[in-house]
Structure 1
Amino acid sequence: MNLLRRIFLQKAALFWLPVFAVTWALSAYSFPLYKALGARWIIKYPAQAQLHLEANISAFMQWLVEDASFGLFSFRDLTRFISALIEAPYSFARNALIDGFSVGLGSDAVDVAPSLSWVAVIVTLVAMGHYARDWNLAALMAGCFGYLAIFGQWDSAMVTLASVLIAVPIGAVGGLLLGILAYRMPYFETMIRPVLDLMQTVPVFSYLVPILFLFGFGPVAALVATIIYAMPPMVRVTIVALRGVPSEIHDVGVMVGCTKRQLMWKVIIPSAAPTLMVGVNQVIMLSLNMVIIASMIGAGGLGYDVLTALRRLDIGGGIEAGVAIVVMAIALDRLSQAFATRVPDEVANHTTQNLAKRHPWLVSVLVVAVGTFLLSYIFPAVQDYPKSMTLSTGTFWSDVIGYINVHFFDAFEAVKTVFLTYLLLPVKRFFVGIPWAWGIIVMTLIGWRVGGIGLGLLSGVLTAFIAAVGLWNKAMVTVYLCGVSVLVASAIGIPLGIFAAQNDRANRIIGSFIDTLQTLPSFVYLIPVVMLFRVGDFSAMVAVVLYAMAPAVRYAAHGVRSVDPQLIEAGLVSGCTPRQLLWRIKLPMALPELLLGLNQTILLALSMLVITALVGTRDLGQEVYIALTKANTGQGIVAGLSVAFIAIIADRILSAFATRARTKMGMGS
């Protein structure tokens, strides 16, 4: 506990408490002060000094689409070329999985070949599961995709799978190539790092506005948005993976005479393959998380089903489609993880073996595909799962929510009232009352105190941008909602992580719970939350807490497990009780990981807050959503940048804090 006091309590006494006291005083009395002095600029940034970027950005986008030219081709030609490159493989994947192949257009179209049958698709995935790991994974693949067929989600699931099959290779290969460039050229990494930060912190809705403007409404625009959203983690993982290859392997490649190209593609990348597959796994999960949001600009599939259910407040249909996305996410996640850790087959002499013995699963898949194609003329159920045999849980989920509303309405309202009265509204009044000028000064001081003058200037400039574009009040509402949600998520998640780190059975149960939370698409949280709590800030907070809690749990568990066993042994020898061991050794040493978990929780909370604009929040997320509905590119980009800047400030300050904590503990930077 002494170390915690030295890091936090001394700093609070000398710096943080005075800053908080002045901020609280100004927040409480800024409005009376404005009235007394007649100085409206105290609470509202002067209109004549605002940066009117929205109109300029919208005009630039208009020029880009209509008039921009690069000599031989226009910008519109470029976007059409990109659309054609993406649309061709997407159409093929969709035809192969669900639509079938045809020649001609409209009423003149002639069917050439059907799509793969549901049996053939499941057998293919079973074969991939067995090849990647074992029969257990093969059974999981069969169970997950069999569920999609039995519960009537097959057609929508195949549309979503077609999108994933195109977005993931493009995102993974693009991220790999950019990561290789950054690895080879440090200055290129310096250039793209801010771009990656923006791509990961700008709300997804903000991507949709310019992409909708450039590529139009449809699946191609949705795929472009998905690729942009899913690619940054692959770039970062590639850089880390390539730098993590032992120098001895690099030296061996040089000694045997490899060229730079051979060294990269035949030595370094194969050595880094397991870590690179982690990046591919992230691309898959982010692509699936994007399917609902991308459905707003024409993606279709399961995401569209969830979105339409949310608009109709169809709790049963929304949960059914959401569970289908979770089932697909679990299957693809486990499959990609298996490929990441797969041990290559032993080299054997196959010259005397026929094709069936060399590639039994490939031959089996081909036989099933051809066999089901032929059998489908006799038994149509082999091609398309019979609708008469599908099951539905929609009514069950609707009845469950209805029962809860009828019998526990008063209890939920009481909880909601307590949170609003004693937490949400007081915190909101505090943040909304902060004058913009003092907010800029405070963020500059905090950045300087934690990370030096560079971080102080960055924090001040980004905060000043938010005030200068006229979004200060909405930004403060965003900060308030994010702050309260992160506080509640940390208050629940950190104790759960600590408990999981010290109890194996709890670790398995909590780990399964967190895995489920992480695979649920963000939109899915809104449906039961709205049905139980109606719209408003409390509903937004509940959805954000559920979505953003996972990093708090995982980092807390990892931090406690990572404490040096020698320190724990020393504590036991000195007579520490389990409680003293936790509070005086484990938690202080896990502080850097706890701060990093807090950092990730904030980033997830901000990304979810934009989506909670659909349940009635009045923050920057609402600005972004309004811009999407009006196709106002300038408004969407400015509001999205404001959210991104809040995320960047929080990320840099907490990262600097974690680095200082590591240094003070002698753990390195």
Structure 2
Amino acid sequence: MSLAEARPASPAVFSRIAPGRLMWIAVLIATIVLVMLPANALPAWAWKYPLAWQVPFGSWISAFMKWLMESASFGFFTVHDFTRAIAWTLDLPLQFAKSVFATGFIQGQGSDAVVILPAIPWFAMIVLSVAAGYAVGGLALGLQMGFGLAYLAVFGQWDSAMVTLASVLVASLFGAAGGLLVGLACVRWRWLERIVSPLLDVAQTMPVFAYLLPMLILFGFGPVSAMVATVIYALPPMVRVTIVAIRAVPEEIRSLGLMTGCTRRQITWKMLVPSALPALMVGVNQVIMLSLNVVIIASMIGAGGLGWDVLTALRSLNIGKGLEAGLAITVLAVLLDRFAQALAVRSGAAVQGQSTGRRNILIGGLGLGLALWAAAAISQPLAVYPEAWKLSTGAFFSDIVSWINVNFFSTLEAIRTGVLLNVLIPVKRFMLALPWPWVVAVIALAGYRLGGWRLALTVGLMALFPVVVGLWPTTMITVYLTVVSVVLSALIGIPIGIASAQRPKLWRVVEAVVDTLQTLPSFVYLIPIVMLFRVGDFTALIAIVLYAVAPAIRYTAHGVARVSPHLVEAGAMNGCTRGQILKRIRLPLALPEILLGVNQTIMLALSMLVITALVGTRDLGQETYSALAKADVGRGLVAGLCVAFIGMVADRLISAAAGRMRARMGVEA
């Protein structure tokens, strides 16, 4: 691409694209006019979809689930028996992991229960983790693992953290293995990928609340249902990473396997999968982080652990207890993230020189850890961290929040009220005043302009779905909060990304902050914000922006930094200032990448928006949460599908726009 292509378009080009711009200006003016029209200017059905026209998908789904669990059978056994058998089978590895890490191996029940072998004690676990961290990532990772687990013990979070760790490890194992198998099947059969792809989109964008209830009905109340829901939520990234990683393996490796007489199975498992292992480990890392992010939600149906501690603290507004449990989840997330990243790097690097020494350290640590575990089994009180050694920061955090509320209440209330009156409420009223036929038509028009009739039909039908199920007003409230949150995230994230892309020292600081924001579980954001601003849309807005701003920063920095230095140098040689190079060269070329960052910001905003139903929003998240509380599976799934379709419409349109920009500029994805 030459420098001339990066400069502003010629008048001839403007004459070609001007009609399109004029069309969108006309659409904007028409939208404003429609909002300002009196209610009787259009037919009543344009504002409120008639009840007689609505399709009762929710009732159909609820009736189907009732028939499935009460009447459906496979001859000798019912569906209820079949799903309970699956639950019993899945419970075996989960109970084994909990026995190892948390409860110990127990014989008998109730008052007759006897601990045969205690759970691995805290000091043995620290020794094992330090050895494993050193073997995988060196001394720095080993020390991080040790200090992180010691923090959990010192601050009294060990028992709950080990329950959470057991659940996450088992769910991650099932998610990674299932995602790998589905991804390999999609690589082998293209028709299967076409079927699976939209299902993955729905699973990734549908709120976890929506399918907690079906899992509860199918598998019963308890940790197994929570684990299945966690696996469904965490599996899609592994499937997508597997497809990309296997297809990226050089063709020469496949040809070598065929030439040496390998079967298809041998080529897959002995050549393709090992060659793609570094990329696959990135997918495993994503599965682990997503699994950990669901533990609080899953605690609503019996998962327990740190998630339950955070949830109870949030319900009782116990700031100290909630932040302690939230920080424990954060520590656990950071440790698992760092370990998985190091494992991914190690799987793709040749570390022959250090492998023997690190392997000996690992074996020695394993032996010492097992010896300490045996000592704890002989003297079981050793396995328990002494109460006298525990510390607590709960009172400290509570005092800080109380001090802020006492001294800055007026300022915080003024900020909250100002944003509500001047931003949130006007945007909300504007969105609710839009007639649904016009919104659906504009979305379909955007799809046609960006991707043709197929995309127009797809996004148009997705936009129509909330209308026909009677959830249009609730959907527009969701859209309004998402739009405001994403705009604010972009206004914060894009300038930070631009500034840090050209300053390596600044980027190191920003990257550490972004990594922290992406590692923090979503519920952790809610606790201090609720304490400062109480419940409501403003609280949800702050939590969403904090959770969703990271992709806007990262993608912008990546897009600006990867612009060809030859183009930048050519601009400087032509006398362009630094600002002109940024506006005329870097930003235009980075725009597709920035759009993809905005796309990811929308996905995270929707994910967080559903969770903010716990702090008083009245959107689709509240609809799914209420359905879970009332055991209304149809209502929950329909509301979840509405959220999923919002995300999928945004994803399809933004991806199509980014693709058109890349094609226009001749830039490869």
Question: 2:610 matched to which residue of 1?
Answer: 610
Is the 2:118–2:380 Cα contact (8 Å) retained in structure 1? no
- Gapped regions of structure 2 (runs ≥ 5): 1-6
Per the alignment, residue 14 of structure 1 pairs with 22
Q: Which amino acid aligns with 1:283?
A: V
Partner of 1:2: 8
Which aligned pairs between 1:76-91 and structure 2 lie closer than 5 A? 76-91=80-95
Aligned amino acid, residue 375 of structure 2: L
- In the other structure, the counterpart of 1:353 is none
1:330 maps to 2:338 = no
Superposition map of 1:267-666 within 5 A: 267-342=271-346, 343=349, 346=352, 359-374=360-375, 380=381, 382-666=382-666
| Alignment match of 1:129 (pick from 129, 133, 146) | 133
Note the C-alpha offset of 1:421: 2.3
Partner AA of 2:70 in structure 1: E
Offset of residue 140 of structure 1: 0.5
Query: How far 1:24 moved relative to its partner?
Result: 1.6
Amino acid at match of 1:209: L
Q: Are residue 138 (structure 1) and residue 142 (structure 2) matched?
A: yes
Structure 2 residue 33 is the aligned partner of structure 1 residue 25 = yes
- The CA deviation string for residues 619-643 of structure 1, in whole angstroms up to 9 with x for no partner, is 1111111101101001000100011
> Equivalents in 2 of 1:4, 1:531: separation in Å?
55
- SS of the equivalent of 1:2 reads coil
- 2: distance between equivalents of 1:619 and 1:28? 24
**Displacement, 1:374?**
2.1
Contact 2:175 2:231 in 1 (8 A): yes
Is the contact made by 1:28 and 1:430 (CA closer than 8 Å) also made in structure 2?
no
> Retained in 2: the 8 A contact 1:373–1:383?
no
Q: Cα 1:176–1:379, aligned 2, differ >3 Å: closer, same or farther?
A: closer
Give aligned-pair identity as a percent: 53
CA distance in 1, matches of 2:523, 2:546: 12
Return the alpha-carbon distance in structure 2 between the equivalents of residues 174 and 30 of structure 1: 54
Q: How far off its partner does 1:614 sit?
A: 1.3
Letter of the aligned partner of 1:445 in structure 2? L
Partner residue in 2 for 1:237: 241
Q: Which moved more, 1:430-439 or 1:338-347?
A: 338-347
Deviation (angstroms), 1:229: 0.6
Q: State the distance in 2 between where 1:317 and 1:258 align.
A: 58
Partner of 1:56: 60
**Matched positions, count:** 659
Could you tell me how far 1:65 is from its partner in structure 2? 0.9
* Structure 2 SS opposite 1:392: coil
User: How far apart are 1:349 and its partner, in Å?
Assistant: 13
- The question of whether the paired residues in 2 share the 8 Å contact of 1:102 and 1:110 is answered with yes
Larger deviation, residues 117-126 vs 271-280 = 117-126
* Preserved CA contact (<8 Å) 1:42 1:435: yes
1:198 aligns with 2:199: no
- Aligned twin of 1:172: 176
CA deviations over 1:37-70 (Å, ceiling 9, x no partner):
xx42121001111001111110100111111112
* Equivalent pair of 1:30/1:434 in contact (CA under 8 Å): no
Cα separation, 1, equivalents of 2:468 and 2:93: 44
Q: Closer, same or farther in 2 for the Cα pair 1:200/1:349, shift >3 Å?
A: closer
Q: Tell me, in whole angstroms, the C-alpha distance in 2 between the residues paired with 1:314 and 1:253.
A: 60
Shift of 1:557: 0.5
- Distance in 2, matches of 1:299 and 1:656, equals 40
SS of equivalent to 2:352: coil
In structure 2, the CA distance between the partners of 1:369 and 1:638, relative to structure 1 (3 Å rule), is: same
Change (3 A) 1:295 1:357: closer
Q: Answer yes or no: is the 8 Å Cα contact 2:118–2:376 preserved in 1.
A: no
Where does residue 3 of structure 2 map in the other structure? none
CA contact (8 A) 1:27 1:432 kept: no
**8 Å Cα contact 1:30-1:43 kept in structure 2:** no
Amino acid corresponding to residue 323 of structure 2 in structure 1: I
Cα deviations across residues 527-560 of structure 1 (Å, max 9, x unaligned)? 1111111111111111111111111000000000
Deviation at 1:492, TM superposition (A): 0.2
What is the alpha-carbon distance in structure 1 between the residues aligned to residue 119 and residue 199 of structure 2? 40
Q: Name the aligned partner's letter for residue 45 of structure 1.
A: Y
The one-letter code of the counterpart of 1:28 is: M
Matches of 2:609 and 2:207, distance apart in 1: 9
Helix, strand or coil: the match of 1:590?
A: helix
Q: How many Å apart are 1:422 and its aligned residue? A: 2.2
Query: Cα deviations across residues 84-129 of structure 1 (Å, max 9, x unaligned)?
Result: 2211111111111121112222222232111111111111111111
Whichever residue aligns with residue 651 of structure 1, its letter is D
Amino acid at match of 2:105: F
Give the match for residue 73 of structure 2: 69
**8 Å contact from structure 2 (residues 563, 590) kept in 1:** yes
Q: Distance in 1 between matches of 2:552 and 2:9?
A: 21
Q: Is the 8 A contact 1:58 1:633 kept in 2?
A: yes
CA distance in 2, matches of 1:226, 1:3: 49
Counterpart position of 1:158: 162
Native 8 Å contact 2:84 2:220 kept in 1: no
1:347 and 1:146 map into 2 onto residues whose CA distance is 31
Structure 1 gap segments, 5+ residues each: 351-355
How far apart, in 1, do the equivalents of 2:380 and 2:460 lie?
A: 69
Query: What secondary structure sits across from 2:617 in the alignment?
Result: coil
The offset of 1:251, in angstroms, is 1.6
Give the superposition deviation at 1:498: 1.0
> What CA distance in whole angstroms lies between the structure 1 residues aligned with 2:372 and 2:144?
24
Does 2:265 align with 1:264? Answer: no
- Segments of 4+ moved more than 6 angstroms: 4-9, 347-350
| 1:369 Cα deviation after fit | 2.4
Shift, 1:77, TM fit: 2.1
How well do the aligned residues superpose, as a CA RMSD in angstroms?
A: 2.1
Contact 1:231/1:283 (8 A) holds in 2: yes
AA partner of residue 25 (structure 2) = L
The AA in structure 1 aligned to 2:207 is P
User: Which of residues 20, 41, 47 in structure 1 aligns to 2:45?
Assistant: 41
TM-score, normalised relative to structure 1: 0.95
**Partner SS for 2:304:** coil
Give the whole-Å Cα distance in 1 for the aligned partners of 2:441 and 2:57. Answer: 23
